[in-house]
Structure 1
Amino acid sequence: MPSMQQLASVRGVIFDMDGLLLDTERLFKKAYQRSASQHGIVLKDSVYDMMIGLRSDASQRILREQLGPDAPSAAIIEGARHYYYMQIEEEGIPLRPGVREMFDYLDELDFPRAVATSTHHKLATLKLRSVGLLDRVVGIVSGDQVAHGKPAPDIYLAAAKLIGIPPEECLALEDSPPGVIAARKANCVTIMVPDLQAPNAVTRSMANFIYESLHDVALALKGARAIPSS
């Protein structure tokens, strides 16, 4: 059973990015569905849900498998990128609730933090810079920098090494099943903050905690650190 003592033992934090820090999964989903519709295809929510949290090679493979060999998958992917970047340029990148509060509290604790994202490093850097978070992390470990993407633990092991904290003393924050699995395989204390996907049997069994927002995570950390050690 998870205990608040697990949170009290944390000395560093590793964040997922899309869907956890940045409210971008909805934008990408909208872009994919808009692109598919241009080719007369209805991209079901259930198909996009399977793609969340994975590296682009894995997510695009799922898209091709689900749409079948006759679908213009390459054109849909390219169109989705176009619409996604267009939305970001027009609307900016919104943050998920509680992000600033969480970072401010970690500043108080002087906790090192990193981002572990399936997104390509160059794009992840641009996104985090645009919302003012790039200078507030030690660095980024991206999907293109590790041998195996989520749900393999590689990205979290690398992020823990980057901030110089043993994985078991790192808090990993994730919104997707592949990310939750990756973080737990790396032996991080894992919290799921659901976005588009509600917790399922797998994520409920693997996440140490599930909270509704980063605001709730910050409150939980504060509460855990206020408990006297036995």
Structure 2
Amino acid sequence: MQDFGDIKGWCFDLHGVITDSWIYHAMAWQETAEILGVTWTDDIQEQLKGRDRMDSLEYILQVGGIQDQYTLSEKQAIAARKNKRYLKYLQKMNPSDVLPGINELLADLQADGYQMIIASASQNAPLEIEKLGLTKYFTKVVDVTQLAHNKPAPDVFLKAAEMLELDVSECVGIDDGLVGVQSINAANMVSIGVGDQQILHEADIVFPSTTDLTIANVRQAFK
């Protein structure tokens, strides 16, 4: 792992790192799964973290053993209906939904001259950043609709580094899901996981919560 002094860019996942809006996604996906006749479980919820909309739907269909019962257009329609459910929940989002410690971290990063970008699988990321009141920190958001592959492929984090005009060796990636950590690792960035150590065991550094995610703690972890 390179020296912390080489780091210039911070590439953030959104759900579970910046905000807890993942719960809104989970609620919308649970509704979708139940309509499809697939029993919702905690494992499904965990496995969907970091996946894009269509990949999430494919996973649910595979768990239910019904992936071959729908055409591509039907799957796209199901995913679109899920997004409508999510957007309905999203209307409640406001700056109070920013996770503990994140406002302080972003302010410190900006004060120290670091670059920041959102590298999320969510197509709604720009809207969420606006509703959270964080556009002053995140002027750049990766457009996942323009990528060939989403997480766990490295594309979103490679694109994030490119948009920051930095080498991947000058960036850290932060995610709360195993799929996201695998994406960061595939991009050859230093990976920081936020959450359960056992689930995120592939990350270079793991912090149990966002309150532990400080510049000082990351600097210490590099040592």
Instruction: Give the TM bin, normalised by the shorter chain.
Output: 0.7 to 0.9
Counterpart amino acid of 1:215? T
1:119 correspondence with 2:127: no
Matched with 1:110 is 113
Structure 1: give runs of 5+ residues left out of the alignment: none
TM-score in terms of structure 1 length: 0.81
CA distance in 2, matches of 1:164, 1:171: 14
Deviation of 1:76 after TM superposition, in Å, equals 6.3
1:176 correspondence with 2:180: no
CA contact (8 A) 1:7 1:171 kept: no
Matched with 2:60 is 63
Matched with 1:54 is 51
1:207-218 equivalent positions in 2, closer than 5 A: 207-218=203-214
Cα RMSD (Å): 2.7
Matched with 1:193 is 194
Higher helix share: 1
Structure 2: give runs of 5+ residues left out of the alignment: none
Closer, same or farther in 2 for the Cα pair 1:110/1:76, shift >3 Å?
A: same
Counterpart amino acid of 2:192? I
Q: Which of 75, 85, 88 is the aligned partner of 2:87?
A: 85
Matched with 2:153 is 152
| Residue aligned with 2:136, SS | helix
Counterpart amino acid of 2:198? N
CA distance in 2, matches of 1:154, 1:39: 30
Closer, same or farther in 2 for the Cα pair 1:200/1:30, shift >3 Å?
A: same
Segments ≥4 residues shifted beyond 6 Å? 70-73
| Residue aligned with 1:191, SS | strand
Counterpart amino acid of 1:171? V
Give aligned-pair identity as a percent. Answer: 24
CA contact (8 A) 1:53 1:178 kept: yes
Matched with 2:11 is 14
Closer, same or farther in 2 for the Cα pair 1:81/1:158, shift >3 Å?
A: closer
Query: Size of the alignment, in residue pairs?
Result: 216
Q: Which of 24, 27, 40 is the aligned partner of 1:27?
A: 24
